[in-house]
Structure 1
Amino acid sequence: MAFKIGYRTLKTAVGAGGAIAIAQALQLEFYSAAAIIAILCTSITRRSSLKASGSRIAACLIGMTVSVLFFQLLGYYPWTLTAILLVFIPLSVMAKVKEGIVTSSVIILHLYTVQALSVEIIVNELLLIVIGVGMALLMNVYMPNIDRELRHYHHEIEDHFKTILRELATYLRHGESDWDGKEIPETVQLLQEGQNVAFRNIQNHILRYDDQYYYYFKMREKQFEILERVMPFVSKITHSVPQGETLADFLSELSGAVSPANRVPYFQEKLRAIKQSFQETDLPATREEFEVRSALLYIMYEMEQYLYIKDRLWNKADKKKL
């Protein structure tokens, strides 16, 4: 494996070094703690970093308050430290700031080490917290642009959908296909990875809680589930019928139209026309023809859902950015 330094590693290192430099320049006691806090608060996204920083500040304030009370009342003894942790940890969990337990424990140990309480000591610890958290937040101001990565998944998924629909159409026409189906597991992986990147993109925006790509990947995931349900029914069609040719033409045209553009009304109307023509056709003459037409009707029903999903979820997305 090649040696590589990622952007998060770089930010963590710079943030830790900056925090300890500032704390040392201010001649703070236990200045190395500022670097520890900076490391713990530097996260992969802005929102998670902000949450982690808030939790650690709140936990530190709780820890310092409990420590001051217990040390003043009980003195500086190991069992006093035990009592502080027995109270502090449950309080942090109740306050939903358990992420800050480790950081706060460092501050509590500082107070135990100096075995004295004064304004200077309290200010010293507060400055360590502010410097460490501040440097982490400053480092997380920069986040790499992942639009290119999102566009990559978007285009790859569309290409896979086109292939799948095209191969389904081929099978309906000829009752066989030399397609190896590799796009199926690849699409599953692309959808999962794309959603992960889209979620990370959302987490990098403090005030925005949705994303056009997030809705896009959710839409394709639900549509892909329908394509998976359709495949066994397509494989059951062992011989060609006129209705199968018509549906194959529909799937082939739909394959060529896989894109962010919302052409759902056009294809919904086309599907309704195909269903109408099916209803006007004479009843099946044989059991085999009956089974084939039943499978085709099921496929049409699923394709109606396929189109409906896009029409429903597409209203939530910002189409201009896709």
Structure 2
Amino acid sequence: MKIGYRTIKTAIGTPIAIWITQTLGVANFVSAGILTILCIQPSRKLSVLSAWDRFFACVLAILFSYVFFKLFGYSPIVIGFMLMAFIPVLVYFNITQGIGTSVVIILNIYGQKMITLPFLTDQFIIIVVGVGVGLLMNLYMPNLERKMRTLQVKLENNFRLILHEIATLIEDPDHEWDRKELEEVNRILRRAGNLVGIDKENHLLRDEHPYADYFSMRGRQFVLLQTMIPLVETLPRHDEISVQIADFFERLSTAVHPGNTADKFLEELKDLKRQFRREDLPANQEEFETRSNLFQLLHEIEDYLIIKSKFKKSDIKAKQSKKRQTGPA
């Protein structure tokens, strides 16, 4: 069984918070550990926002406790009525994350059955230590670079397989394909989106993310791949253009990588389109529908390549530019 980093931080932070408050002689020192547990968050941004929400909510809890217990006494019924008034206030200020921690403070005051300045000082120390230790624990976040790189590799492998299967379907319409790669790509994109979101929140001062645009680009390409499959299934068995398109897809499947050679394939696609236009006009309805689907397929693959071309500077042009600068080898 794998132990997560949040579990480790909770296991470290909780006893530290309890030790600090116990050393300071604070009443209800165990509550500092509870507050630390509640403050452990999956990202730095959430941690900072959560720390503020919980601190503000706890301060409000002290004020509400003072008013309600002073006016109506110490009774479970009073706690119920207090929460009915207190929780809507937290919702109004949009600090609902502080409900759990603030209730801990309310119950501490209720258990004491008296409100004195030294006791309120103890509660304030519990809040500062509990929330503060949780915030400090969340300053460390694991590097997600390796996980995102792994997902990138898996995603590109599945793109290669999908393009290869499309090429095979064009050559052999009877080819059986379970299409498990499509579901795998969906799963990878969802997982990547979650990781990118968390990693963004772990880097509070960084505006751009190296993988956010990449996975977004692949997501748009994947939509187009899914659109191509029904078109491919309608192509004729024996057609010169279809054979060339199948070869085009096969070569494209070997060129899926983080770099950008899309411009090269866009030029080849222009040649295919010119050849397509030189073909004889369709003689019947079936040929017309086939020709229409073929033209739509060329349009979809062009959009697929344009998306990649806009995402990253062409590696082909970069090599040509470098070669001109350095001269012949």
The correspondence of residues 42-57 of structure 1 with structure 2, limited to 5 A, is 42-57=40-55
Name the SS of the counterpart of 1:297 in structure 2.
helix
Q: Which residue is 2:59 aligned to? A: 61
Show CA shifts across 1:151-181 (max 9, x none). 1110111111112112212332344435443
The correspondence of residues 296-315 of structure 1 with structure 2, limited to 5 A, is 296-312=294-310
Q: CA deviation at 1:210?
A: 4.6
Which of 84, 89, 92 aligns to 1:91? It is 89
Counterpart of 1:117, as a letter, is I
The correspondence of residues 150-189 of structure 1 with structure 2, limited to 5 A, is 150-177=148-175, 179-189=177-187
Show CA shifts across 1:258-307 (max 9, x none). 12223333333332332233223221234443332222111111112222
Name the SS of the counterpart of 2:259 in structure 1.
coil
Q: Tell me if structure 2 keeps the 8 A contact 1:223–1:306.
A: yes
Residues 198-207 or 54-63, more deviating: 198-207
Q: CA deviation at 1:7?
A: 2.1
Cα–Cα, structure 1 residues 65 and 209, in superposed 2: closer, same or farther, change >3 Å?
farther
Name the SS of the counterpart of 1:236 in structure 2.
coil
Q: CA deviation at 1:223?
A: 1.2
| TM-score, L = length of structure 2 | 0.86
Long gaps (5+) in structure 2: 314-329
Task: Tell me whether 1:131 sits opposite 2:155 in the alignment.
Answer: no
Task: Tell me whether 1:214 sits opposite 2:212 in the alignment.
Answer: yes
Q: CA deviation at 1:77?
A: 4.4
Q: CA deviation at 1:29?
A: 0.4
Counterpart of 1:95, as a letter, is F
Q: CA deviation at 1:98?
A: 1.1
Q: CA deviation at 1:136?
A: 1.1
The correspondence of residues 138-287 of structure 1 with structure 2, limited to 5 A, is 138-177=136-175, 179-208=177-206, 210-287=208-285
Name the SS of the counterpart of 1:261 in structure 2.
coil
Q: Percent identity?
A: 38
Counterpart of 1:247, as a letter, is I
Name the SS of the counterpart of 1:133 in structure 2.
helix
Distance in 2, Cα, partners of 1:31 & 1:277: 80
Distance in 2, Cα, partners of 1:173 & 1:81: 74
Name the SS of the counterpart of 2:41 in structure 1.
coil
Q: Tell me if structure 1 keeps the 8 A contact 2:259–2:312.
A: no
Cα–Cα, structure 1 residues 4 and 273, in superposed 2: closer, same or farther, change >3 Å?
closer
Cα–Cα, structure 1 residues 277 and 101, in superposed 2: closer, same or farther, change >3 Å?
same
Distance in 1, Cα, partners of 2:194 & 2:43: 12
Residues 104-113 or 126-135, more deviating: 104-113
Cα–Cα, structure 1 residues 8 and 273, in superposed 2: closer, same or farther, change >3 Å?
same
RMSD: 2.2
Pairs aligned (count): 313
Task: Tell me whether 1:71 sits opposite 2:69 in the alignment.
Answer: yes
Long gaps (5+) in structure 1: 316-322
Distance in 2, Cα, partners of 1:254 & 1:161: 10
Counterpart of 2:216, as a letter, is K
Counterpart of 1:265, as a letter, is D
Q: Tell me if structure 1 keeps the 8 A contact 2:38–2:100.
A: no
Counterpart of 1:274, as a letter, is L
Q: CA deviation at 1:75?
A: 4.2
Counterpart of 2:230, as a letter, is P
